């Protein structure tokens, strides 16, 4: 007595080349791919319910109605094809055998292979990546700062707990990875929104206010929290008396804990404890370099946080330009491309070639010209004896040209010249607005001029104009603070203000009150100079 043989499932090890190795992906582009994808979806859902094997009738019952074959035989054929590609593995179904004849019947139960499960996970990750919009996570910035404060406290201990260090570094790495991935996905989706591909007008106009507020809030958080993160990173990279850095000691502790859990036969398993720890240390160093490259500047390197802030700032005027373009569309204004599309539709709807020729001449002004100028006498003559539009140049009445035009090449029309519109009131209004804006800016700069080094906490209350200038100046200074330097300086974009900052190191906090709230942060020694105020 024998059991009918079943073709074995292909595996990656048995393949002789890339075509064999990636055979489990064949069901994506094969005919009837929708049914194959639905069958594999059934197996993945049942796997989450801890179901190991499925019979053909179970798969047929669990398939969605739009792809379910009329009977189970169609499912059996799909299962056989998936078995040939290596996505499924069949096993003889002996649980329902009650007679000798049942052994000769083709009865199988099916389960996912390792290759089939890997393919489905890869496809799910691909679909998730395509549909991901991402986000600018201000909360992630706060979480990163919290983890860095924990690491800074651990670095001050003589013998920090390796488990606590490893957990804090792992959480920091995961949170930073989420921040970077989401920021990249969000800026990509934002650019697609700005490009107006498939954007509905009403939806976009309702969405843009919330989006601009979201960008402004993230920029403010990135300036404040990003500065704190940069400070914490600098403190963690301080040199130790015995050599090395504070964060280097923590990374070694995490690497040694990873090396202690390394399975035999893995990377570095053949080396002794020191070699395994050295192999585990390299990925931690790369993650740390990626984190510091986001928030700290170095020679020839601009922090990614500053680039992200610039991209978010530039997105706001681009969004406003999109709103202006949408408003023009809604008001009935059309561009040249829209006019040509309408004209093309008219040509397609014309009944015959003669109509198309008339449309061509009318659209592009190709009717025969019969004059170079028109005056009152010409109009009276045409009213008395109308000339058909199709009259050619040769058959029409001759054009009578002024002797002055023939002799001098110019013709001056007699009469009163056109009245020139008086724009003096508008010019005065614009000049007044420019003057008020210049006075407000000058007053804000004069308010910010400290007259010498002062503490940030001594600046006091600022009005909205002065606080806006101060916030931008502070952000530029913190973003360009050199690594390891005790102080920094920056200049505003128009060159009117210059700021110098120096850390005080006493842990004091500063508060600056504004009509919209209170701005808090670590205290610094600052000196703001109004370059245009004569100082």
What is the distance between the alpha carbons of residues 240 and 233, in angstroms, rounded to a whole number? 15
In angstroms and rounded to an integer, the radius of gyration of the C-alpha atoms of the chain is 38
Q: What percent of the chain has pLDDT over 70?
A: 75
How does the average pLDDT of the chain come out, rounded? 76
The pLDDT score that the predictor gives to residue 348 is: 92
Question: Which one, of 26, 140, 139, lies nearest residue 81 by Cα?
Answer: 26
What is the distance between the alpha carbons of residues 443 and 407, in angstroms, rounded to a whole number? 65
What is the distance between the alpha carbons of residues 268 and 258, in angstroms, rounded to a whole number? 11
Structural domain includes residue 147? yes
Local confidence band at 239 (pLDDT 50, 70, 90 cut-offs): confident
Number of domains, the chain: 4
Structural domain includes residue 51? yes
Structural domain includes residue 418? no
What does residue 503 show for φ and ψ, rounded to 5 degrees?
Answer: -70, 145
**Boundary (domain end) residue, out of 129, 155, 170:** 129
Residue 155 shares a structural domain with residue 233: yes
**Boundary (domain end) residue, out of 311, 328, 345:** 328
What is the distance between the alpha carbons of residues 368 and 392, in angstroms, rounded to a whole number? 6
Look-up of token digits 């035009």: 405
Q: What percent of the chain has pLDDT over 90?
A: 3
Residue 98 shares a structural domain with residue 143: no
Structural domain includes residue 363? yes
What is the number of alpha carbons within 13 Å of residue 4 lying toward its C-beta? 11
Residue 146 shares a structural domain with residue 278: yes
Residue 503: strand pairing partners: 524
Distances in whole angstroms, Cα of residue 503 to Cα of each of 87, 129, 478, 480, 488? 61, 42, 11, 14, 9
195, two tokens: 């490009």
The beta-carbon contacts of 169-173 under 8 Å, at least 24 apart in sequence, are 169/250, 169/251, 169/254, 169/284, 170/254, 171/143, 171/147, 172/144, 172/147, 172/148, 172/291, 173/287, 173/291
Least confident interval from 17-31, 199-213, 297-311: 199-213
What average pLDDT does the segment 425-450 reach?
A: 84
What is the distance between the alpha carbons of residues 34 and 339, in angstroms, rounded to a whole number? 42
Residue 231 shares a structural domain with residue 320: yes
425, two tokens: 């009131």
The pLDDT score that the predictor gives to residue 504 is: 80
The pLDDT score that the predictor gives to residue 257 is: 84
Residue 162 shares a structural domain with residue 240: yes
Look-up of token digits 């009245």: 419
What is the distance between the alpha carbons of residues 321 and 204, in angstroms, rounded to a whole number? 12
Residue 38 shares a structural domain with residue 114: yes
For residue 3, pLDDT over 50 is answered with no
What is the distance between the alpha carbons of residues 470 and 493, in angstroms, rounded to a whole number? 12
Please write down the HEC assignment for all residues of 101-159: HHHHCCCEEEEECHHHHHHHHHHHHHHHHHCCCCCCCHHHHHHHHHHHHHHHHHHCCCC
Residue 316 shares a structural domain with residue 366: no
DSSP codes joined into one string, 397-419 = PPPPPPHHHHHHS--PPPSPPPP
Least confident interval from 175-189, 228-242, 398-412: 398-412
pLDDT digits (tens, 9 = 90+) for 250-287: 888 888 888 876 655 555 444 445 577 788 888 888 88
For residue 311, pLDDT over 50 is answered with yes
CATH number at residue 87: 1.10.10.10
Local confidence band at 190 (pLDDT 50, 70, 90 cut-offs): low
The pLDDT score that the predictor gives to residue 344 is: 92
What average pLDDT does the segment 315-325 reach?
A: 74
User: Any alpha helices (H) in 30-100, and if so which ranges?
Assistant: 33-48, 56-62, 72-85
What average pLDDT does the segment 446-468 reach?
A: 81
For residue 45, pLDDT over 60 is answered with yes
Look-up of token digits 């592009």: 364
Q: Report yes or no: 179 and 185 within 8 Å, Cβ to Cβ.
A: no
What average pLDDT does the segment 106-130 reach?
A: 82
- Tell me the range of 112-126, 356-370, 383-397 where mean pLDDT is highest: 112-126
The pLDDT score that the predictor gives to residue 349 is: 92
- pTM for this structure? 0.42
Structural domain includes residue 437? no
What is the distance between the alpha carbons of residues 31 and 79, in angstroms, rounded to a whole number? 14
12, two tokens: 């990656």
Q: For residues 376-405, b (16+ Cβ closer than 10 Å) or e, as one string? A: eeeeeeeeeeeeeeeeeeeeeeeeeeeeee
Composition of the chain by helix, strand, coil, percent to 5: 60, 10, 35
DSSP state of 10: P
For residue 165, pLDDT over 60 is answered with yes
Residue 201 shares a structural domain with residue 291: yes
**Boundary (domain end) residue, out of 328, 355, 370:** 328
What is the distance between the alpha carbons of residues 224 and 212, in angstroms, rounded to a whole number? 19
The pLDDT score that the predictor gives to residue 477 is: 81
Q: Report yes or no: 272 and 214 within 8 Å, Cβ to Cβ.
A: no
Local confidence band at 11 (pLDDT 50, 70, 90 cut-offs): very low
DSSP state of 209: H
Residue 196 shares a structural domain with residue 280: yes
What is the distance between the alpha carbons of residues 489 and 480, in angstroms, rounded to a whole number? 8
Structural domain includes residue 229? yes
- Domain, as residue range, for 375: 336-406
Residue 235 shares a structural domain with residue 319: yes
Structural domain includes residue 13? no
Residue 231 shares a structural domain with residue 283: yes
For residue 121, pLDDT over 80 is answered with yes
The pLDDT score that the predictor gives to residue 347 is: 92
Least confident interval from 65-74, 88-97, 418-427: 88-97
The pLDDT score that the predictor gives to residue 82 is: 92
Residue 464 shares a structural domain with residue 523: yes
Q: Report yes or no: 504 and 525 within 8 Å, Cβ to Cβ.
A: yes
């Amino acid at each position: 007595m024998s059991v009918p043989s079943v073709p074995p499932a292909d595996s990656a090890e048995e393949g002789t080349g890339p075509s064999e190795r990636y055979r489990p992906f064949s069901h994506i582009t094969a005919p009837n791919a929708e049914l194959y994808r639905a069958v594999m979806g059934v197996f993945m859902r049942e796997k989450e319910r801890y179901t190991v094997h499925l019979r053909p009738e179970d798969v047929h019952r669990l398939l969605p109605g739009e792809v379910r074959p009329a009977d189970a035989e169609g499912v059996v054929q799909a299962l056989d094809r998936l078995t040939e590609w290596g996505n499924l593995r069949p096993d003889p179904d002996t649980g329902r055998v009650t007679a000798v004849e049942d052994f000769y019947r083709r009865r199988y139960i099916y389960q996912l292979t390792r290759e089939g499960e890997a393919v489905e996970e890869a496809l799910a990750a691909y679909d998730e990546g395509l549909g991901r919009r991402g986000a600018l996570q201000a909360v992630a910035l706060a979480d990163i700062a919290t983890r860095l404060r924990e690491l800074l406290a651990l670095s001050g201990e003589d013998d920090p707990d390796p488990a606590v260090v490893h957990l804090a570094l792992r959480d920091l790495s995961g949170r930073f990875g989420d921040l970077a991935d989401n920021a990249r996905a969000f800026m990509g989706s934002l650019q697609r929104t700005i490009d107006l591909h498939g954007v509905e007008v009403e939806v976009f106009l309702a969405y843009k206010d919330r989006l601009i507020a979201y960008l402004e809030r993230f920029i403010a958080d990135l300036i404040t929290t990003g500065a704190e993160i940069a400070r914490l990173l600098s403190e963690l990279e301080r040199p130790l008396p015995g050599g090395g850095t504070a964060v280097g000691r923590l990374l070694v502790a995490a690497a040694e804990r990873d090396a202690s859990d390394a399975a035999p036969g893995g990377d570095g398993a053949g080396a002794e404890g020191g070699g395994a720890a050295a192999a585990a240390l390299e990925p931690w160093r790369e993650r740390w370099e990626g984190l510091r490259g986001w928030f700290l500047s170095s020679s020839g390197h601009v922090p990614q946080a500053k680039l992200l802030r610039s991209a978010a700032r530039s997105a706001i005027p681009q969004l406003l330009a999109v709103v202006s373009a949408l408003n023009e569309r809604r008001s009935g204004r059309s561009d040249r491309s829209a006019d040509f599309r309408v004209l093309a539709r008219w040509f397609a709807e014309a009944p015959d070639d003669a109509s198309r020729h008339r449309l061509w001449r009318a659209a592009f002004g190709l009717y025969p010209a019969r004059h170079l100028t028109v005056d009152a006498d010409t109009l009276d003559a045409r009213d008395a004896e109308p000339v058909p539009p199709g009259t050619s140049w040769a058959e029409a009445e001759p054009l009578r040209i002024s002797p002055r035009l023939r002799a001098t090449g110019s013709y001056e029309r007699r009469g009163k010249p056109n009245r020139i519109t008086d724009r003096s009131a508008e010019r005065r209004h614009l000049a007044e607005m420019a003057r008020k804006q210049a006075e407000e800016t000058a007053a804000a700069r004069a308010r910010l001029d400290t007259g010498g080094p002062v503490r940030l906490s001594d600046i006091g209350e600022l009005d909205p104009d002065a606080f806006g200038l101060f916030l931008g100046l502070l952000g530029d200074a913190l973003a360009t603070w050199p690594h390891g330097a005790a102080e920094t300086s920056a200049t505003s974009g128009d060159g009117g203000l210059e700021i110098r900052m120096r850390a005080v190191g006493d842990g004091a906090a500063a508060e600056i009150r504004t009509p919209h709230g209170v701005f808090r942060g670590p205290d610094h020694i600052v000196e703001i100079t109004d370059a245009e105020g004569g100082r």
